[in-house]
Structure 1
Amino acid sequence: MLTKPCEGFEPSQGSRFKFFLLPFAWILRILLTSNLRVLKGKAMNKQLSPKKQRFLDFIRNFCSDHGRAPTFHEIMEGLQIKSLGTVNWYVRELEKLGVLERGKYNAKRALSLPNQPTGNELPLLGFVAAGYPLEAVENREMIEVPPSYIHSDNYVLKVKGDSMIDDHIEDGDYVIIRRKPEASQGQTVVAFVNGEATLKRYYRKSNGVELHPRNPDYDVIRVSPDDEFRIGGVVLAILRQYE
């Protein structure tokens, strides 16, 4: 937007010409830059072999149909690729061409297409033990997650320990939790036992609640009627950071 000149300032014809020319130059530069980006994108697509184009189209269609990117396993099954290594090779090649991006967290699940929304953020409320119970501590850090997981009842906890390793939940992973006071049999939950949080599979038995690890090195936690117990939520997804 053009602004009114300062009082007492009388621009000459030359300066008036430059005053109006500058915005036009900006507009021209923007138009040229936009056209170059379009041409670059077209040239980039021409570099794709039929197999790479098919790979990229599968991801685009999957994102459109499911509201999220496919996992490596889903790509392997959908395209009938024989190994995860081959999937990873295609991802790296498309990254080099700038038509596919890999997110910071959980590289096998956080693929995204450039210039498209990649997600949003949920609060990281602390740490949860996948081993021995550990107190959850609130903080204000935010974690980027896929848009399909954005919900007012969702939050993120960071995992410490390896008691859920057989469910592919590893030390250092982030888990997206849906805040719920109840859970179904066998669901992975954040449970608070006597004020401490732990991540386990939930089972209700005739004599009480049992929290099962997914690592044979750890014991089942049996909750007695005298214990303070509540469910803090159920696990929806896992985020993993690759250095």
Structure 2
Amino acid sequence: MPRELTQRQQEIYNFIARAIRKKGYPPTIREIMDQFEIASTNGVRTTLAALEKKGHIKRRPMLSRGIELTEQVERDVPNVSTADVRQVPVLGRVAAGQPILAIENADETVAVDASFLSSGDVFALLVEGDSMVNVGILDGDYVLARHQTTANQGEIIVAIIDGEATVKRYYVDGDGVQLIAENESYSPIVVEPDQEFRIAGKIVSLMRRF
């Protein structure tokens, strides 16, 4: 029989369970970190270990999305009520490949379970391309991004280069800004000094329609 959870453990369990019900697959450790603003992967792993010990989940350590609900609690996956749904504006398309023209006028919205969203102003973009497949961002997905103009090393961002948008990992070194794909077929994008560059947002989640 699964044991009772603390409030924080319950919140993270609900997030995992809703992701599995809505998307068909669990969140990664990094996605849990971003959702709950946890400072380190160890903090997430400690909570996952507690959920596993208490009989709520099973983990497959070699997989980035290796969290499964146990049979005892699968039937108790929380449903998403209409009160938990938020309409997020879709601001256009974004490249997971070479940058494409960014459109920043919302002409549609997508309904998103509010538990998937962190605090702040969030927008959605339709992904085109396969440069981020290694982190589960596929062609045709919607990425959800929080509006912000700064980012930490290694975070996945929406970058605007000379008016064109792309989703990549963000790094800064002595040579300036580099945008790194999660697909070995793509070379890093090095932002040249004469290019206009800005960060439009940080990726906090994604949606996939079947």
Q: Distance in 2 between matches of 1:197 and 1:88?
A: 40
Aligned position for 1:39: none
Structure-1-length-normalised TM-score:
0.59
Q: Which amino acid aligns with 1:235?
A: I
Matches within 5 A, 1:154-233: 154-233=122-201
**Distance between the aligned counterparts of 2:8 and 2:79, measured in 1?**
12
> Secondary structure, in 3 states, of the residue corresponding to 1:69?
helix
Q: Which structure is richer in relative contact order (CA contacts within 8 A, separation 6 or more)?
A: 2
Offset of 1:223 from its aligned partner?
0.4
Stretch moving more, 117-126 or 223-232: 117-126
* 8 Å Cα contact 1:163/1:218 also seen in 2: yes
Identity %: 34
Residue 80 of structure 2 contacts residue 113 of structure 2 at CA under 8 Å; is this kept in 1?
Answer: no
Q: Name the structure where helix makes up a greater proportion of residues.
A: 1
- Which residue is equivalent to 1:139? 106
Q: Distance in 1 between the 2:193 and 2:80 partners?
A: 53
The amino acid across from 1:200 in the alignment is: K
- Which residue is 1:106 aligned to? none
Superposition misfits of 4+ residues, deviation over 4 angstroms:
61-64, 71-78, 82-91
1:21-170 to 2 correspondences below 5 Å: 65-66=11-12, 68-71=14-17, 72=20, 73=26, 77=52, 79-81=56-58, 87=69, 94=75, 112-113=78-79, 117-137=83-103, 138-148=105-115, 149=117, 151=119, 153-170=121-138
Shift of 1:66: 4.3
Count of residues paired in the alignment: 172
State the Cα deviation string for residues 124-179 of structure 1 (Å, max 9, x = none): 11110001111122332111122242755211111111100111111111111011
Give unmatched runs, 5+ long, in structure 1.
1-50, 101-111
Instruction: Map Cα deviations across residues 182-216 of structure 1 (whole Å, 9 max, x no partner).
Output: 11000000001111000000001112100000101
Which runs of 5 or more residues in structure 2 are unaligned?
A: 21-25, 27-47, 61-65
Q: Taking structure 1 as reference, are residues 62 and 113 closer, same or farther at Cα in structure 2, changes over 3 Å only?
A: farther
Compute the TM-score of the two structures, normalised by the length of structure 2.
0.67
RMSD (Å), alpha carbons: 3.4
Which has a greater percent of strand? 2
Instruction: Using the TM superposition, give the Cα deviation of residue 62 of structure 1 relative to its aligned residue in structure 2, in angstroms.
Output: 7.5
Query: 1: CA distance between counterparts of 2:14 and 2:93?
Result: 26
CA–CA separation in structure 2 for the residues paired with 1:180 and 1:85: 30
